[in-house]
């Protein structure tokens, strides 16, 4: 069973969490996060991600701190909003991230790469896929390891959605979140899009009409 499908099940379990199990949230109602399972990590944790973990459940799954998730999304939005759209490249080797980054890029104007990341895309000017972004965002440092490797070589800052099992050695800004689940990935990119558009004066909470479902992977 793929970890994308496994995390869809975990997201359903995550919806059973109540707002009493997490601190209140500043940007969105905490239930929006809980229902998406964005806080439900894996059964594995690295030392790098320990500071983002709120608690460990009896079933062995590690639960991420919603406040820290939201705090880091705000930090990422603030950073990305300082770049011109053509300077940002968004990558997703995760199946559930492909539609999310398409919608994210459609609304923000950022460049995206949802197909296989071709080796040399950031280092070899002779290939068609070559790109020279000023900053890179990836959906999962493991699934997008080639992009992370090349960005590191080129000294390109990296923003990454990181689950409890991720190592973050080459990541400059971590967004702690379930980076394998369909609804979770959609939520992260949805909130990130909304915050960027608000910072750029392109929308506010009332005029931003896109929904989380618009960012979800559709088979």
Q: Is the pLDDT of residue 9 over 70?
A: no
Give the integer Cα–Cα distance in Å for 182 and 204: 25
Nearest to 171 by CA among 195, 146, 138: 138
The CATH number given to whatever domain includes residue 114 is 3.40.50.10490
pLDDT in tens, 77-106: 999 999 999 999 999 999 999 999 999 999
Mean pLDDT of 40-46: 94
Residue 5 predicted with pLDDT over 50: no
What pLDDT digit, counting tens, does each position of 135-182 carry? 999 999 999 999 999 999 999 999 999 999 999 999 999 999 999 999
Phi-psi category of residue 142: left, alpha or beta, with phi > 0 → left and psi -120 to 50 → alpha? alpha
Q: Which residue in 50, 53, 21 sits closest to 35, CA to CA?
A: 21
Number of independent structural domains in the chain: 1
Is the pLDDT score of 74 beyond 80? yes
Beta bridge partners of 209: none
The answer on pLDDT for 23 being more than 60 is no
The reported pLDDT for the residue numbered 15 is 47
Q: Quick one: pLDDT at residue 108?
A: 97
pLDDT band at residue 58 using 50, 70 and 90 as cut-offs: confident
Instruction: Write out the residue range of the structural domain in which residue 131 sits.
Output: 3-215
């Amino acid at each position: 069973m793929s970890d994308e499908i496994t995390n869809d099940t975990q997201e359903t379990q995550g919806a059973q969490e109540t707002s009493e199990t997490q601190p209140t949230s500043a940007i969105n109602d905490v239930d929006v996060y809980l229902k998406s399972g964005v806080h439900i990590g894996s059964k594995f944790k690295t030392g790098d991600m320990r500071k983002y973990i709120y608690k460990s459940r009896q079933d062995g799954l590690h639960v991420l701190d919603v406040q820290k998730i939201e705090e880091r999304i705000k930090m990422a939005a603030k950073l990305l909003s300082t770049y011109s759209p053509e300077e940002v490249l968004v990558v997703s080797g995760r199946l559930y991230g492909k539609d999310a980054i398409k919608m994210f890029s459609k609304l923000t104007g950022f460049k995206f790469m949802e197909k296989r990341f071709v080796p040399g895309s950031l280092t070899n000017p002779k290939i068609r896929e070559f790109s020279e972004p000023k900053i890179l965002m990836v959906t999962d440092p493991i699934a997008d390891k080639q992009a992370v490797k090349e960005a590191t070589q080129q000294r390109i800052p990296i923003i990454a959605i990181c689950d409890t099992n991720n190592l973050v050695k080459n990541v400059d800004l971590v967004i702690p979140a379930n980076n394998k689940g369909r609804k979770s990935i959609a939520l992260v990119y949805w909130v990130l899009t909304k915050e960027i558009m608000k910072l750029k004066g392109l929308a506010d909470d009332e005029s931003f009409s896109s929904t989380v479902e618009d960012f979800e992977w559709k088979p």
